[in-house]
Structure 1
Amino acid sequence: MGGGPEVPLREGAQKNDVLLAVLPWPEQLSAKIISEIKDEFPKLEIHYIQENFPKKDRAKTEVPEDLTKRAKFLATIAWLPATASKSPNLELIQFFSAGTNHIAEHPIYTDSEIPLTTASGVHGPQIAEWVIMLNLVHSHNYIQLYEQQKKKEWVQSKGAQVRDGVGRRVGVLGYGSIGRQVARLAQALGSDVIAYTASPRKTPESRRDNGFIVPGTGDPEGSIPSAWYSGLDKKSLHEFLRQEIDLLVLSVPLTKDTQHFLSTDEFELLHKSNPNGTYVANISRGGIIDQPALIKALESKQISGAALDVADPEPLPSDDPLWDAPNVLITPHISGMSTVYAERAFGVLRENLRRRRDGKNFVNQVDRKRGY
């Protein structure tokens, strides 16, 4: 475990399979699960290189050429060999991110067939809590109450207009691991959940979650939604948005089909469907929403507010008008962060090592044509 100079092999000896991890966290954060992987796969040679952080310093990360050539498995967020030929033995690249759109133009993505898998599934608990937390901050008028606290004022009227979650409708646009955990928490609050997926899910089998699931979370059988909608066309999307949604959660990947999925027409439709105001939470990518249209929707009260963990662009410039839009809460793309993130992501890698050993399909494998 760990890096260091290569020791010459005795003549006739065989090298072990190499797992190369190039990640931005200290190795110590994942020491326990790395040790468990080593125990389960004793012939696996693990080398961990801490990637330079922040992003602007990634290019300065030094990865020995010999390790790059020998690596059979690569664990990474963004670092990749320049081309597939630089890593001729690679059989799997396990990304520790939910998506791969950030490397979609890289030669390994466009010009190779090396299997790519993601860490989809590890983000559900913390992101779902972020969604519910900010929705409650909004629905319980907490910002006003906090400002009142700072002024040392005791005025109960500012906390009187509260609408709890019972009987409210939560629309989950993108019913993957994150959306399913949002649904689980929303159901616990007494809310009705409806789901939207790219492709139809008309059978119980099609509604099951076959990805990585943090134990005790999510909706493995797809049994929570009271109704399912699907499609990538505007007509199908609009049918979903007509369902009097109180909380709309965006958890779809950013592709050419979902770019500006929500724009002027969609915000107008949400307002007509629910005059009380839909609250929009975006934890996917900023480009899912037409940002100028969102600002207008907030200013005209077509929606009741927005919780945004993503923006377009990122970082959001200090002079961007989104900062000053009414009833908006913005966090700097941190909803997926967790003290156990790295451990869970290594858990996905361990599952894929097991599946390779057992001749099974990888979990969370990317379909390059679909983009996720």
Structure 2
Amino acid sequence: MGGGPESPKLEGKKHDLLLCVLPWPEPKESLKKIQRQYPKLEIKYIHVPHANRGWKPAEGVPGELYKRANILATLSILPPSASEAPNLSLVHIFSAGINNIVNHPIYTDSKIPLTTSSGIHGPQIAEWVIMTTLIQSHKYNDTYEGQKRHDWGNYGAGKGVRDMVGQRVGVLGYGSIGRQVARVANALGMDVIAYTASPRSTPDSKKDKGFIVPGTGDPDGTIPSAWYSGLDKESLHGFLQQEIDLLVISVPLTKQTTHLLSTPEFDLLARSNPNLTYVANISRGAIINQEALVSALYAKKLRGAALDVTDPEPLPPDSSLWSAPNVLITPHISGNSVNYVERAFQVLEENLKRREEGKDLVNEVDRKRGY
């Protein structure tokens, strides 16, 4: 196994290099802040085209920079191997998920610490979840079509609205995004139940130990009225049969979570809730068996689905998912925010500080778990 050197103190060396290879214009204020904290740190910023999903080779990045870099900040562009970046001691990924790099040699054949930007997406994605749920429950699309026709008499669009007070949201994957969904849903009067891979039976285990945007989320894990956990289907089914009105999918994509939800799960949701379940997926498309989802929508086993992710992406024009009933599809944009890059650099800042202090990194990837 290859790997980088032990983390040095940044202020103690003159030639430490932070290499940023990112698809956004240079965020000068964020870089100035880091430079003020670490005046001896050399910072190189390379603006690259926005890549599609999946890691990309180091096109446009001089090999000499990879050889000198101690810290790499990137979305998906990586050096071909750890041996071509011998001084690399930290890779910070500007996304929450890392499923797109799990086959890269730096992931599989090195011990270089990897950290993610998990925690920065909660505010905007929670808003997307609530927005799309309200669009469905308030039949907004029908109203909007009436507006385009200049038709005031579309009264039917306002009938049958069921407000969210007393409804139950099941958060499948109670990370930073799920916790912010819980916070907003709780404010709307909803009951929240949470599902995690491992048990959270103590107050400390329920705390969020990742990066938290101030004033958001559920830092102490006190919002859910009940917690469920497990890696087996029986445990998952115990959670799904709790008469869930809104199921929010926010688990990472791993071999274990691929097609985690399919026909048996949709059947169970239908049997357990006479009002039917609305599914919101903001994680990865492959967590859902897409053909099974389309069948469930046509069979009216679900109230509908809001999907910011699909399988594959981009979704082909001839996919049957486009015309499935009561489905709302957006092109993997729920995490977009003008604050995105600034917050991702805040996570990096926190980890630079922790390296200096010899503390555990925030959002460090566990290679064995796959996230």
Counterparts of 1:133 and 1:114 in 2: how far apart (Å)?
39
Residue 39 of structure 2 aligns with which residue?
Answer: 42
- Superposition pairs of residues 74-93 of structure 1, within 5 angstroms: 74-93=72-91
Amino acid at match of 2:39: P
Counterparts of 1:219 and 1:112 in 2: how far apart (Å)?
34
Residue 31 of structure 1 aligns with which residue?
Answer: 28
Partner of 1:137: helix, strand, or coil? helix
Contact 1:22 1:76 in 2 (8 A): yes
Amino acid at match of 1:48: Y
1:160 Cα deviation after fit: 2.1
State the Cα RMSD in Å. 1.3
- Superposition pairs of residues 259-298 of structure 1, within 5 angstroms: 259-298=258-297
Partner of 1:369: helix, strand, or coil? coil
Residue 3 of structure 1 aligns with which residue?
Answer: none
Residue 221 of structure 2 aligns with which residue?
Answer: 222
1:40 Cα deviation after fit: 0.7
Amino acid at match of 1:37: I
Q: 1:71 aligns with which of 49, 69, 72?
A: 69
Counterparts of 1:185 and 1:61 in 2: how far apart (Å)?
42
1:157 Cα deviation after fit: 2.7
Report whether the alignment pairs 1:358 with 2:357.
yes
Contact 2:57 2:80 in 1 (8 A): no
Residue 133 of structure 2 aligns with which residue?
Answer: 135
- Cα shift readout 1:147-203 (whole Å, capped 9, x = no counterpart): 111111122232121111100000000000000000000001000000000000000
Residue 185 of structure 1 aligns with which residue?
Answer: 184
Where do 4+ consecutive residues of structure 1 move more than 6 Å?
none
Counterparts of 1:204 and 1:174 in 2: how far apart (Å)?
18
Identity %: 66
Aligned residues: 357
Amino acid at match of 1:275: P
Partner of 2:321: helix, strand, or coil? helix
Contact 1:282 1:308 in 2 (8 A): yes
Q: If the length of structure 2 is used for normalisation, what is the TM-score? A: 0.94
1:63 Cα deviation after fit: 1.2
Counterparts of 1:157 and 1:105 in 2: how far apart (Å)?
52
- Cα shift readout 1:331-363 (whole Å, capped 9, x = no counterpart): 000000111100000000000000000000000
Partner of 1:322: helix, strand, or coil? coil
Counterparts of 1:289 and 1:346 in 2: how far apart (Å)?
31
Q: What residue ranges of structure 2 are gaps of 5+ in the alignment?
A: 1-12
Contact 1:232 1:258 in 2 (8 A): no
Partner of 2:322: helix, strand, or coil? helix
Residue 242 of structure 1 aligns with which residue?
Answer: 241
Contact 1:95 1:116 in 2 (8 A): yes
- Cα shift readout 1:48-94 (whole Å, capped 9, x = no counterpart): 00112343996573112221111100000111111101111111000
Counterparts of 2:47 and 2:273 in 1: how far apart (Å)?
49
Contact 2:137 2:163 in 1 (8 A): yes
Counterparts of 1:45 and 1:162 in 2: how far apart (Å)?
57
Amino acid at match of 1:180: R
Partner of 1:329: helix, strand, or coil? strand
Report whether the alignment pairs 1:164 with 2:170.
no
Further displaced range: 54-63 or 310-319: 54-63
Contact 1:38 1:44 in 2 (8 A): yes
Report whether the alignment pairs 1:330 with 2:326.
no
Amino acid at match of 2:350: E
Q: If the length of structure 1 is used for normalisation, what is the TM-score? A: 0.94
1:16 Cα deviation after fit: 1.8
Contact 2:297 2:324 in 1 (8 A): yes
Contact 2:304 2:325 in 1 (8 A): yes
1:15 Cα deviation after fit: 4.0
Counterparts of 1:200 and 1:357 in 2: how far apart (Å)?
32
Contact 2:67 2:87 in 1 (8 A): yes
